[in-house]
């Protein structure tokens, strides 16, 4: 099937737009909102997990469980944003990966790792208290 001049022109415009976005990713407000949301949720996952450890160390296991629950809720919000991006990519949409996205994903993964450790530490403090 032959490619028309109009199709080539559209493809060139699309590539130029992608290059412009790659050069200036902060201009895409929706994308930066997603990135900032991931950073925020990642920080909250970690922050609630650390509060859970502190509460457990002080013997307040009810508060520790609540903080772990809040950490899980933040994780779900981050996961939902990630799933949306994965769906977009699966549908052929361009999902740029740059230092901002890498930084955001780093926050989420650090938060998750901290929460997993917090779960174990709360269980340990609980066992020590018994």
By annotation, the residues acting in catalysis are: 103
- Is there a contact between 38 and 108 (Cβ–Cβ < 8 Å)? yes
10 Å CB burial of residue 41 (0-12, 13-18, 19+) is buried
Cβ neighbors of 11 (< 8 A, separation 6 or more) are none
Q: Token match 């901290």: residue?
A: 114
Q: What share of the chain is helix, strand, coil (3-state, %, to 5)?
A: 85, 0, 15
Q: What is the rounded CA–CA span in Å between residue 92 and residue 128? A: 52
């Amino acid at each position: 099937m032959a490619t028309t001049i109009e199709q080539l022109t559209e493809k060139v415009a699309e590539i130029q737009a992608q290059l412009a976005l790659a050069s200036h990713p902060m201009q895409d407000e929706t994308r930066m909102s997603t990135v900032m949301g991931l950073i925020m949720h990642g920080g909250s996952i970690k922050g609630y997990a650390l509060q859970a450890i502190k509460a457990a160390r002080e013997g307040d296991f009810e508060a520790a469980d609540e903080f772990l629950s809040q950490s899980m809720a933040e994780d779900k919000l981050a996961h939902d944003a990630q799933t949306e991006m994965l769906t977009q990519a699966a549908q052929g949409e361009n999902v740029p990966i740059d230092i901002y996205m890498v930084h955001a994903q780093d926050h989420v993964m650090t938060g998750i790792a901290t929460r997993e450790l917090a779960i174990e530490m709360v269980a340990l403090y609980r066992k020590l208290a018994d």
